[in-house]
Amino acid sequence: MNPASPQILDGQRVSEELLGELRNAAGAFAKRTNRRPKLALLRVGENHASVFYMRRKCAAAEKIGIEVIVEVFPDGTPRGPVEEKISRWNGDPSIDGILVQAPLPSAEYQRFIFNAIAPEKDVDGFHPMNVGKLACEDPTGFVPCTPKGILRLLRAYDVQLEGRHVVIVGRSLIVGRPLGLLLQSRAVNATVTVCHSQSRDLACIARTADVLVVAVGHAKLVAADMVREGAIVVDVGQNRDENGLLCGDVDFLSVAPKCSYITPVPGGVGPMTVAMLMENVIQACVMK
Ligand code: GUN
């Protein structure tokens, strides 16, 4: 591989292939049970990114034959009404999966809400039961969609992870933490370093990575001097640059020439996250 012309990890293309397969699985479920799989989505407030992501999730679900219901609570809604709605969805046998879009008003609010979702409907994999199952390598749990999508994308390009050093920048519940668990599992066998806002000499650690995953939500944080020649770079960021254009956490133009593989933004990790959500909804149906 010539590092001067990296291979683009095309999440758009790979996700479209996966959605084709998932459409067949959704159709088979509908034929067998006389009803379509059903996903319930909830949001509190009008955060632009959340509105955008939820639209993407709805569109993908409808495209492959998953029914969607959407509930939006206004900004400032206390936890009570949201917990009540989730409780009703937990007890509704026609609903297979429940997703509450993050961010929520506070970390405490988010913890209570994620904990309120029935683990068997928690298609985001954020309930402590599913986080625990991931840590225990119990395959009956739900794996969070972005980490799962990153691994699936790398696998689609035959990127080998066994024994390789993966540096993850960001320790969020949504990406960094579960990705670290997945990568160190016996199924993947990578060596993992997780960095965060308090890590000292981030650039020095990042340069030791065979695979560098950046998920911090900071536009163009990673520049060329933080990346080893020939590294694989996965950019989870979705930010706006100084001109209002969508950009990742990686400065693509300066970093890409050093990489063997790199994900674009948009069209890299984002579409894979949506496809993995659809897969998790099908998993929820199958596990019933
Ligand atoms: N906000 C950003 N990514 C995600 C995700 O994967 N799931 C949820 N629920 N919220 C998010």
* Residue 184 is a catalytic residue: no
Domain range annotation of the chain: 33-120, 144-269
pTM listed for this prediction: 0.97
Contact between residue 250 and residue 233 where contact means Cβ atoms under 8 Å apart: yes
CB contact burial 177-196 (16+ within 10 A = b; e otherwise): bbbbbbbbbeebebebebbe
Using CB distances shorter than 6 Å, the residues near ligand 1 are 99-102, 124, 145-146, 174, 273
- Report residue 159 CA to chain centroid gap: 19
Measured in Å, residue 229 CA sits from the centre of ligand 1 at 32
Choose the catalytic residue: 38, 96, 101, 110.
Answer: 101
Alpha carbon of 120 to those of 87, 91, 117, 283, 284: distances in Å?
Answer: 13, 11, 8, 10, 7
Site to probe by mutation for ligand 1, drawn from 121, 174, 179, 276 as the one with most ligand atoms within 8 Å of Cβ, is 174
Taken as a whole, the chain contains a residue count of 288
Measured in Å, residue 31 CA sits from the centre of ligand 1 at 30
* Residue 85 is a catalytic residue: no
Determine the residue type at 9: L
Alpha carbon of 253 to those of 117, 158, 211, 247, 270: distances in Å?
Answer: 41, 24, 18, 11, 19
Domain 144-269: homologous superfamily in CATH? NAD(P)-binding Rossmann-like Domain (3.40.50.720)
CATH code for the structural domain at 33-120: 3.40.50.10860
* Tens-digit pLDDT string for the chain (288 aa): 545 689 999 999 999 999 999 999 999 999 999 999 999 999 999 999 999 999 999 999 999 999 999 999 999 999 999 999 999 999 999 999 999 999 999 999 999 999 999 999 999 999 999 999 999 999 999 999 999 999 999 999 999 999 999 999 999 999 999 999 999 999 999 999 999 999 999 999 999 999 999 999 999 999 999 999 999 999 999 999 989 999 999 999 999 999 999 999 999 999 999 999 999 999 999 998
Contact between residue 6 and residue 261 where contact means Cβ atoms under 8 Å apart: yes
